[in-house]
Amino acid sequence: MHLIQKGCPMIKKITIAAVLAAAVATGCSNTEPKDSAANPVPAKEPVSLTLFRYYAGLTEQEFDQYIAKPVKSKFPHVTINFVSAKTTNASELEQMLASGDQADIIFTSNYSLPVVIKMGLAETLDESMKKDDMKLDRFEPSVVDALAKYGTAGNTYAVPFSLNFAALLYNKDVFDRFGVPYPKEMSTWDDILELSKKLTRMDGTTQFRGIIMPAIKQVGDQLSLAYADKEKHKATIHNDEWKQVFEFMAPFYAIPGASDNGKTPAALKTFMEDRTLAMNAEWISNAIGPLTELEKNGQPVNWGMTTYPSFKGRPGIGRAVDFHLMTVSKTSKHKELVFEILNALAGEEVQTTITKNGRLTVLNNDAIKNQFGGELAVMKGKDLTAALKSKPARMVTPTDYDVISSTLLAQGLSSMLANKKDLNTALRDAQEAADKKIAEERAK
């Protein structure tokens, strides 16, 4: 619930020493003494704001360290409360509105921003940006490009906060065990396929794997492929581009021991806990927490990292841009103040702090980027330079049908890998099923 707490009026206090000093000054001069306490700067009334976290990783500890404390330092009269969505279902946002609860800030990801905009919760920020002279060119170009795709009529709906980036993590012990050289920076997926063939093997009773491939959506996003046509209200997955993705992924699953009819274990668990996975192409934000905990518990992983694998013809292009952001909620009664806060959180001081602690800055500032993980013991000695050579892929303009298309596309790939359908049939059936589902959704 949004609350405004009114404080007591400021009580003017004049010490005895101050009175004596004033008397002496008066006796020695014909001029009136200047009493600085006569016109004090009025204290600002306490303000309580609510931040609602929706479908984006942010723990209470991170909220306190990266948001609440910096805000209290710069805006002493402001207290921010943390409310976290329990699910990824948009109904929680609807329930919040229906109950009369007010969020002042919505913390979410760029992929969930369209839901917030569609529900009419995100305030446009263009006028506030002009007033505070906030320039978007201070942010990473890929982030600015993504924000433009979510807006309508050129409007901006959010202020970026932290940038996610992916890297190729590798278990040095697995490579050393089989005498295979570590992956090189700027490797292509073809290079990783060859490494995976060498590392996927049964050793005694233990099955080792070279790599467990990311979900097909992450592969498609890396290639900036579209899932649907928002004008025609149709899926766009039965085409040569997606056919090439299916053909690209199949050899990774065809390696003996790599999968069971297209089914593979969870990559992060296999890499962190089982330690039978040589390489893990992963969001670094997903890995730092578990790696840190293992190190604290005396079970460190002997790991390294390098550039996220790229496709031939697209050197250095990694996963699609993925970032966390904050919006000014339309339900807020303190919109100008909230924008000032978001602007401050996107400033160099806070951005340096979050970067040192494992959240990459959204600022286009190499000096800050190079401090990534500086406060984390688990990042010491890691090849950050190589990892940061990977640049985010361009994000395609999202549609309301992307989830439908990508879900059925993944099912189509699974059916092909399980030898239940050939490639063309799998794609055609996925397209038809997606078109049918889209039509049903539009008819509601």
Tell me the per-residue pLDDT of 384-436, one tens digit each, with 9 for 90 and over: 999 999 999 999 988 989 999 999 999 999 999 999 999 999 999 999 999 99
- DSSP H or E stretch at residue 277: strand 277-283
- Whether 307 is in a domain gets the answer yes
Judgement on whether residues 130 and 203 belong to the same structural domain of the protein: no
Judgement on whether residues 88 and 222 belong to the same structural domain of the protein: no
pLDDT in the model for residue 39: 54
Judgement on whether residues 143 and 56 belong to the same structural domain of the protein: yes
Cβ neighbours around 441 below 10 Å, total? 12
pLDDT in the model for residue 22: 38
Provide the pairing of β-strand 201-203 with 206-211: antiparallel
Domain ends where: 334, 356, 380? 380
- DSSP H or E stretch at residue 80: strand 78-84
Domain ends where: 333, 356, 380? 380
The two tokens of residue 293 are 């905990």
Indicate the DSSP class of residue 42.
P
At residue 97, the 3 state secondary structure works out as helix
Rounded Cα–Cα distance for residues 14 and 17 (Å): 8
User: CATH number of the domain that 102 lies in?
Assistant: 3.40.190.10
pLDDT in the model for residue 158: 96
Q: With CA atoms as reference, report the closest residue to 362 among 157, 139, 177, 149.
A: 139
Indicate the DSSP class of residue 102.
-
- Whether 31 is in a domain gets the answer no
The most distant pair of C-alpha atoms in the chain lies apart, rounded to whole Å, by 102
Judgement on whether residues 234 and 333 belong to the same structural domain of the protein: no
Cα–Cα distances in Å, from 282 out to 58, 165, 212, 286, 385? 18, 9, 10, 7, 17
- Whether 340 is in a domain gets the answer yes
Q: Region 103-121: what's the mean pLDDT?
A: 91
- Whether 10 is in a domain gets the answer no
- Whether 39 is in a domain gets the answer no
Does residue 8 have a pLDDT over 80?
A: no
Within 13 Å and on the Cβ side, how many CA atoms surround 90? 11
Q: What is the mean pLDDT of the chain?
A: 88
- Whether 368 is in a domain gets the answer yes
Which of 26-30, 52-56, 123-127, 171-175 shows the lowest mean pLDDT across its residues?
26-30
Does residue 36 have a pLDDT over 50?
A: no
Rounded Cα–Cα distance for residues 289 and 71 (Å): 25
What are 131-152's pLDDT values in tens digits?
A: 989 999 999 999 999 999 887 7
Phi/psi at 426 (nearest 5 deg)? Answer: -60, -45
Domain range for 216:
166-319+396-443
Judgement on whether residues 356 and 315 belong to the same structural domain of the protein: no
For residue 325, the one-letter residue type is L
- DSSP H or E stretch at residue 243: helix 240-254
Q: Is the distance from CB of 39 to CB of 12 less than 8 angstroms?
A: no
Q: Is the distance from CB of 327 to CB of 121 less than 8 angstroms?
A: yes
What are 186-221's pLDDT values in tens digits?
A: 999 999 999 999 999 999 999 999 999 999 999 999
Does residue 17 have a pLDDT over 70?
A: no
Judgement on whether residues 295 and 400 belong to the same structural domain of the protein: yes
* HEC assignment per residue over 218-236: HHHHHCCCCCEECCCCEEC
Residue 396 neighbours by CB under 8 Å, 6+ apart: 149, 224, 225, 226
> Given pLDDT bands bounded at 50, 70 and 90, which one contains residue 71?
very high
Indicate the DSSP class of residue 347.
S
Rounded Cα–Cα distance for residues 360 and 430 (Å): 36
Judgement on whether residues 218 and 346 belong to the same structural domain of the protein: no
Judgement on whether residues 271 and 315 belong to the same structural domain of the protein: yes
Q: Which of 16-20, 258-262, 351-355 has the highest mean pLDDT?
A: 351-355
What are 324-381's pLDDT values in tens digits?
A: 999 999 999 999 999 999 999 999 999 999 999 999 999 999 999 999 999 999 999 9
The two tokens of residue 376 are 């984390």
- Whether 190 is in a domain gets the answer yes
Q: Is the distance from CB of 211 to CB of 252 less than 8 angstroms?
A: yes
- Whether 7 is in a domain gets the answer no
Q: Which of 24-33, 94-103, 157-166 has the highest mean pLDDT?
A: 157-166
Does residue 313 have a pLDDT over 70?
A: yes
Strand boundaries in 310-416, DSSP class E: 317-320, 322-328, 360-361, 391-393
Task: Look up the pTM and report it.
Answer: 0.82
Residue 401 neighbours by CB under 8 Å, 6+ apart: 227, 228, 230, 233, 235, 434, 438, 441
- DSSP H or E stretch at residue 284: helix 284-296
Look at the chain and report how many structural domains it folds into: 2
The two tokens of residue 53 are 């976290």
